[in-house]
Structure 1
Amino acid sequence: MTSDSMRSITQSTLGGPDVLETAEVPIPRPGSGEVLVRVAATSINAADWKLRSGTITKLGPPPFTLGLDLSGVVTEVGAEVTEFAPGDEVFGNVVSRAGAYAEYVVAPAEFLTRKPAELDHVHAAALPTAVLTAWQGLTDVLAGQRVLIHAAAGGVGHLAVQIAKARGAYVIGTARTANHEFLRGLGADELIDYTTTDFTTAVADIDVAFDLVGGDYSERSLLVLTPNGRVIDAQGEEPIGDPRYYRHYFHPSGADLAEVAALVVAGRLRGEIDRVLSLADIAEAHKLSESGRVRGKIVLTPWAD
């Protein structure tokens, strides 16, 4: 490998985890408003394997490199970038066909924030997409409201539990019994094992239902709302014709991540790491993520030399 090349995960076709392969590609250069970051860690989101398989088609046809989250060190800044300099430790998002499953990645400076010294790269890389989905989706939650969070032990869900609690809500989560103790430790007030109990028979008077599952969960959640309640759907593909239903998409924001980082440093928010794998094990990591049996996030670090 030459000094101006790097390793990156790419795919030439849509399909299962085995379509992911390591390639040697040129190190990208930052444009105006962008920075080049040497990746210390990235993480897997459900969107990654949905894009890989073609369930989501927003990237168009392959080849492309996945990876929405990054934590690392700035090595070069583009024109008009004044907030970062080479050597700065940052974390945040990249949204492009040339993602963070690589040794270097270009990201818009506005998508990044400084990584606090108290937060290591592994834990920082686990946060951006998941925490912003929860932070922005629950932005209007008020103290005293009853908030129902589906898939509460997952990558977004366990952060949503903490954010809702930080905003003063009474939090109810759906999760397997094996994860109930973990979620109580994060502040959940009430828990439902979705494998044995239909949540529509177990709860009522919900002010906000946060759907992180998809399928019919949003439609069923409408049944347990208060008259002025709302369903925030971060997963569904087809919108529902009910004024209490909202389809939610996260947007990258360094400013929002700076607020999140302050909560982490204050000990009021923590991201759970299920396991840390190398990008060399990317197919295994995708299989694990797609299984739906992950507590928190799977983090990926670059190849060992």
Structure 2
Amino acid sequence: MKAVVQRRYGSAVFGDLDVPVPGQGEVLLEVRAAGVDMGVWHLLTGKPYLLRFLGFGFRGPKSPVPGRDVAGVVKEIGPGVTGFAVGDEVFGTCEGSFAEYAVAPVSRLARKPEGISFTEAAAVPISGGTALQGLRGVQAGQRVLVLGAGGGVGSYGVQIAKALGAHVTGVCSTSKVELVRSLGADEVFDYTVADFTGTYDLILDCGGARPLSRLRGATNERGRIVLVGAETGGSITGGFQKSLGSLLLNPFSSKKFVPLMSTERADVFDELRVLIEAGSVKAAVGKVFPLSEALDAVDHVYSRRSVGKTVVTI
């Protein structure tokens, strides 16, 4: 099969690999599309180095194929699998989706939403799942601020918060303003012109550029600041030190920082399927690349030029 092949950090090529064999609780997928986010870049480069200590491979990547968001068709069933059959259309996550075939655990797969393409479905799992978990507890009528509203997680954050009945304010760059408006944001701030104003019950910080003091000052009493991630740190810890530092502030204020560690589970993806089929959430797909140009897709995301979610099609 054709695949992006990575044997060491910082280097990958488009080449050939054997088709993988599904093990216990796994299925073999014919991959139709794979989502791209900053996580792929981190695993390709091995940076920040903290990731290597978190189980992704110390000297080199554990998976020879990058890519984790996936949408495709079940081609083979592994031992112990129930609930799926050959020919089923699914979406979710796996290790190695930048390939014509990939093995995926059924614990991280759900049926593909009806009425959308594989390209759209592949744009949903990680970013949509992260936004959904970050917005748990939001009540109708509350004010939600989404920083980085034009990116992968942020674009779903705007829509899910609206589906929960919140008043939503999005913050993004000039090129993404129209997208964020089209996703249903009640207010949109172009941070290149003027920063956001007001106070909020929940801030979903998908950008990581603003200091903790600024976020806390924009939060109502007993409000929450959910830290999705940051790309402002160095090669050792990346933006993780911001999340760790935020925990030290929690005992001294009724406003709480919540560093988000999202999980990839079938039930989360099934919640997203329901929202999509109800018309409450749509996949905001930006640029689409063929598998042979998957590394260009990763560079596109890293350059921060992506509007919505970047996808690789197979």
Alignment of 1:33-44 (within 5 A): 33-44=25-36
Structure 1 CA distance for aligned equivalents of residues 60 and 2 of structure 2: 17
Once residues 136 and 253 of structure 1 are traced to their aligned partners in structure 2, the CA distance between those partners, rounded to angstroms, is 11
SS of the aligned residue for 1:26 comes to: coil
Q: Which structure 2 residue ranges, 5 or more long, are not aligned?
A: 230-238, 251-255
SS state at 1:263 partner: helix
Structure 1 residues 147 and 117, CA, compared in 2 at 3 Å: closer, same or farther? closer
Match of 1:93 in 2: 93
Shift of 1:218: 4.3
What TM-score comes out, normalization by structure 1 length?
0.90
Amino acid at match of 2:25: G
Is the Cα contact below 8 Å between 1:145 and 1:169 reproduced in 2?
yes
Question: 1:193-215: per-residue Cα shift (whole Å, max 9, x none)?
Answer: 1123233xx222x1111111124
Find the counterpart in structure 2 of residue 237 from structure 1: 240
CA distance in 1, matches of 2:211, 2:190: 14
Matched, 1:220 2:214: yes
Structure 1 residue ranges, 4+ long, deviating more than 3 angstroms after superposition: 215-219
The one-letter code sitting in structure 1 at the alignment partner of 2:292 is: A
Aligned residue in 2 for 1:178: 175
Letter aligned with residue 249 of structure 2: D
Q: Alignment partner of 1:157: what SS? A: helix
Partner of residue 3, structure 1: none
RMSD (CA atoms): 1.5
1:202-281 counterparts in 2 under 5 A? Answer: 202-204=197-199, 206-235=200-229, 236-238=239-241, 239=244, 240=246, 241-243=248-250, 244-281=256-293
Q: Do the aligned partners of 1:231 and 1:245 also contact (CA within 8 Å) in 2?
A: yes
2:45 is aligned to 53
For 2:8 and 2:38, the matched residues in 1 are separated by: 18
Could you report, residue by residue, the CA deviation over 1:141-168 in whole angstroms, capped at 9, with x for unpaired residues?
A: 1111111101101111111100000001
CA contact (8 A) 1:218 1:233 kept: no
Choose the corresponding residue for 1:165, options 152, 155, 162.
Answer: 162
Flag the 1:219–1:36 CA change in 2: closer, same or farther, 3 A: farther
Q: Which amino acid aligns with 2:195?
A: D
Distance 1:279 1:219, change over 3 A: farther
Whether the 8 Å CA contact 2:3–2:100 is kept in 1: the answer is yes
TM-aligned CA deviation for residue 170 of structure 1: 0.8
1:77 maps to 77
Q: Which residues of structure 1 form unaligned runs of 5+?
A: 1-5
Query: Is the contact between residue 67 and residue 100 of structure 1 (CA under 8 Å) also seen in structure 2?
Result: yes
Q: Report the count of equivalent residues.
A: 288
Shift of 1:217: 4.5
Q: Name the SS for the 1:163 alignment partner.
A: helix
Give, in whole Å, the separation in 2 of the partners of 1:214 and 1:20.
Answer: 28
TM-score by length of 2: 0.87
C-alpha distance in structure 1 between counterparts of 2:35 and 2:151, whole Å: 13
Distance, in Å, in 2 between the alignment partners of 1:214 and 1:226 is: 19
The whole-number CA distance in structure 2 between the counterparts of 1:116 and 1:210 is 25
AA in 2 matched with 1:37: L
Structure 1 residue 275 displacement after superposition: 1.6
Code of the aligned partner of 2:47: T
Instruction: Give % identity.
Output: 38
Contact 2:37 2:298 in 1 (8 A): no
1:283 and 1:68 map into 2 onto residues whose CA distance is 14
